Homo-oligomer: A and B are copies of this chain.
């Protein structure tokens, strides 16, 4: 008798994103990337545009391509430079031409193998190639697994700001292989952790407390890491299912992001100085400090958030960004270009406490400026 390959029971968790005829599963677990071929073939796809970057490609590209080929899928490979600089129109143009030259058809798919940049760029290409073909995410960073690969936001940056050009294009499948995270640097893991703990801060004080207790195991790997990814995907899926296009409370997911994006913009998206998750960490700490200052949130909650992020090794203050980030005016100008601006008014995600975030649509520019001026001094 020939032995069948063993599948460990319970090793793969499935989180369903419920969006009617655009619903899709997120598979979480060690080794799920090896199922890419069979899972994508089951979608009825014949050819796959495998998009990765120069860092991830050599690490994991061969295995994913082999899985796709073994399932009888034709693979069109496209590799982009690693880093935020690939989220540009000219890179999108080149990527689209590469995939079209590979003769992808309407029934085919684009598969993103990489972090948030690859997912955002490849997903946007999938959204606009032939006016939209299917999209599969195989996120390789913690940040992408818990955040950017779920929910259908895709896009590139503009001179005027980050993610200002893009599309809502839901994936047909997400394979979050937690074993792929073993190759991440500690800094990347921490940055992804910031987006993980965010779900606790938004609406789940128990998950936040669990994070405070388990963060070392989340970063180290094993069952705690899988659980953190599953809980994060569940939290995000619930919000996305309620409000796919961010007309309402999907905006809560932007906790820390209005501040964070302004910081990223102030450093010119220089990842050596500040990666996205670090910007979000500072931004979440700022959102809680600002909430406390406005009397919305108990000051002890703001302190507790700041203490936990600092314990993990994340920055919590703009002054910690190497080289500084300019003045309050610099940050306010950057915020004025944010997509979340409505009718010229700034929308912030603030908090009544840990796990009690709220959308505040009409923040006073004076309050904001005074807060930022003080916050930049400390």
Contact = CB atoms under 8 A, between A and B. Distances in A.
Interface of A: 46, 89-90, 92-93, 96-97, 100-101, 103, 105-107, 124, 127-132, 153, 155, 158-161, 164-168, 245, 336-337, 339, 341-344
B155 A105 contact: no
A164 B130 contact: yes
A337 B103 contact: yes
A129 B96 CA distance: 18
Given A105-B343, A106-B339, A342-B105, A131 B166 contact: yes
Copies of chain A in the complex: 2
Given A89-B92, A96-B158, A167 B343 contact: no
A48 to B, nearest CB: 14
Nearest to A159: B97
4 interchain residue pairs of minimum CB distance: A89-B93, A100-B160, A131-B166, A130-B339
Nearest to A246: B131
B132 A165 contact: no
Nearest to A163: B131
Contact of A158 (B100, B124, B131, B245): B100
A102 to B, nearest CB: 10
Nearest to A164: B100
Given A97-B160, A100-B161, A101-B160, A106 B166 contact: no
Given A100-B337, A105-B344, 8 more contacts: A100-B160, A101-B159, A106-B342, A128-B128, A128-B155, A128-B166, A131-B166, A132-B245
Contact of A165 (B129, B161, B164): B129
Nearest to A344: B105
